[in-house]
Amino acid sequence: DQQVKQNSPSLSVQEGRISILNCDYTNSMFDYFLWYKKYPAEGPTFLISISSIKDKNEDGRFTVFLNKSAKHLSLHIVPSQPGDSAVYFCAASPGTGKSTFGDGTTLTVKP
Amino acid sequence: GAVVSQHPSWVICKSGTSVKIECRSLDFQATTMFWYRQFPKQSLMLMATSNEGSKATYEQGVEKDKFLINHASLTLSTLTVTSAHPEDSSFYICSAQGLAGLRAKNIQYFGAGTRLSVL
């Protein structure tokens, strides 16, 4: 049973528009959520995170929203840039440090 | 800050040989390190979790005797693929975690990965 799901394997948006990446989870013990970005042949890099006590966290062009009742989080990138093209992984942790990762969403931002 | 170095980045070896991959946290003490395997167009598969000075905890289905993990210090963990075979060819990635604060505790800092090709 996959506890963290990213149902969209890929997303394509136009440069300057908003990119919205979604993530659903099933384990109610998760209390910390993270987004990572990964380029081909590289390791993922941490992007932004949110604790379960919050519903929104913003860092520049990146905003993460958390809806605990729906067990859903999303990453908004505004405005999207071609350099944002990468695979984005959603991850969730029960506070132990060990995270469960989703399968990733490949974002393509077209110039 | 929070740089993780992983070496080698690419290794080709003959079937039956062993390969060692190193993962170092360069500017912080990593109490926990993780080892992942990634197949093409698939997600990160956690292989094992290692804490400094103790035995690694392997995920279900991962062979302990084949994938030897050593976490001898707070800045170094190694993964040795013993008697490698072509089916072991994959992209192996390590990550490290520090301790200070909830945020730091949950964030993983990843190495650049190692592409293993077994002929």
Give A67's pLDDT tier (boundaries 50, 70, 90).
very high
The answer to whether residue B107 neighbours chain A at the CB level (below 8 Å) is: yes
| Dihedral angle, C-alpha A12, A14, A15, A21, nearest 10 ° | -40
Q: What is the pLDDT of residue B39?
A: 79
For the cut 90, the answer to whether the pLDDT of residue A73 exceeds it is yes
Give B2's pLDDT tier (boundaries 50, 70, 90).
confident
Which amino acid type is present at position B60?
Q
Which uninterrupted H or E stretch holds B51?
strand B44-51
Encode pLDDT of A5-62 as tens digits: 999 999 999 999 999 999 999 999 999 999 999 998 888 999 999 999 999 999 999 9
Give B101's pLDDT tier (boundaries 50, 70, 90).
low
Q: What value does the mean pLDDT of chain B take?
A: 90
Distance CA A48, CA B100 (A): 17
| Three-point CA angle A56, A61, A65, nearest 5° | 20
**From B6, B44, B113, residue closest to A101, measured CB to CB:** B44
